[in-house]
């Protein structure tokens, strides 16, 4: 996921490359549902995904917990419920396959009949558009900790049942590779 690549992978990748300099590692970012489909199709050995649904074909190991928040421009009124979203406000998010976008969209629909979503392909772009007043988005707090312009957005808390997300390593039960096993075991304690 883009969020994991932006916040969690630097140290594990450095450690992995130091321990296994001859292994060629390819990194692909995509929304959760797309990554799950690629693992199931054997296009990827291993993926880090948000809140995967149980699937008997996959091994799923929770790695870390994220706290999700809504972000808006600084002038936006406090957002405590879906009704606090301005009817003209757009939601900014990744594709429909994104677990975080789905969560925000489902929540927003509790207060509005229709929700307009503008698809964005990077968190830096999403946060810049939020700061400019183009709409609201949902991001992990860890992302804001690494964003140089975090003071240009307003943070709103989601209800407890929506703000918790678990990122898990997933892989096919029938195709464990030595390199993916080494990656998981070698770096999972550092994520």
Domain residues for 174? 2-65+165-190
| 92, 76: one domain | yes
Q: Which of 29-33, 91-95, 119-123, 175-179 has the lowest mean pLDDT?
A: 175-179
Task: Give how far the C-alpha of residue 24 lies from the chain's centroid of Cα atoms, to the nearest Å.
Answer: 25
Q: Give pLDDT, residue 15.
A: 85
Q: How confident is the model at residue 132 (pLDDT cuts 50, 70, 90)?
A: very high
Do 59 and 127 fall into the same domain? no
Note the pLDDT of residue 170. Answer: 92
**119 and 31, same domain (yes or no):** no
Say yes or no: 75 and 99 in one domain. Answer: yes
Q: Are 36 and 70 in the same domain?
A: no
Residue 17 binned pLDDT confidence (cut-offs 50, 70, 90):
confident
Do residues 137 and 184 both lie within one domain? no
Asked whether the predicted pLDDT for residue 84 surpasses 60, the reply is yes
Residue, of 156 and 179, whose pLDDT is higher: 156
pLDDT level of residue 136 (50, 70, 90 thresholds): very high
| Same domain (yes/no): 129, 84 | yes
Q: In terms of domains, do 98 and 156 share one?
A: yes
Q: Is 59 in the same domain as 70?
A: no
The stretch 133-137 carries a mean pLDDT of 94
Cβ atoms of 32 and 99 within 8 Å: the answer is yes
Which of 12-16, 46-50, 80-84, 183-187 has the weakest average pLDDT?
183-187
pLDDT at 189: 56
74 and 51, same structural domain?
A: no
- Global pTM reads 0.86
Domain count along the chain: 2
Mark whether 70 and 56 lie in a shared domain.
Answer: no
Same domain as 174, residue 153: no
What pLDDT, on the 0 to 100 scale, is given for residue 2? 84
pLDDT at 140: 94
Per the structure block, which two tokens stand in for 58?
């996959």
Place of tokens 């916040």: 7
CATH number at residue 147: 3.40.190.10
- Angle (CA) 142 171 180, round 5°: 80
The answer to whether residues 79 and 159 touch, using CB atoms and an 8 Å cutoff, is no
pLDDT at 188: 63
Amino acid 177: pLDDT: 73
Q: Is the pLDDT of residue 112 over 80?
A: no
């Amino acid at each position: 996921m883009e969020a994991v690549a932006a916040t969690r992978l630097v140290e594990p990748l450095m450690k992995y490359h130091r321990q296994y300099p001859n292994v060629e590692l390819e990194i692909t970012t995509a929304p959760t549902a797309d990554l799950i489909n690629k693992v199931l199709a054997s296009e990827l050995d291993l993926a880090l995904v948000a809140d995967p649904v149980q699937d008997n074909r996959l091994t799923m190991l929770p790695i870390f917990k994220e706290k999700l928040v809504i972000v808006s421009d600084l002038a936006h009124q406090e957002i405590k419920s879906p009704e606090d979203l301005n009817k003209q406000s757009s939601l900014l998010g990744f594709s429909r396959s994104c677990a975080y976008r789905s969560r925000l969209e489902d929540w927003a629909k509790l207060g509005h009949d229709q929700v307009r979503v503008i698809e964005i392909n990077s968190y830096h772009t999403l946060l810049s558009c939020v700061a400019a007043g183009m709409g609201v988005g949902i991001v992990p707090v860890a992302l804001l900790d690494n964003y140089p312009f975090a003071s240009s957005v307003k943070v709103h808390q989601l209800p407890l049942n929506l703000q918790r997300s678990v990122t898990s390593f997933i892989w096919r039960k029938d195709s464990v590779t030595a390199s993916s096993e080494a990656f998981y075991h070698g770096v999972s304690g550092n994520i």
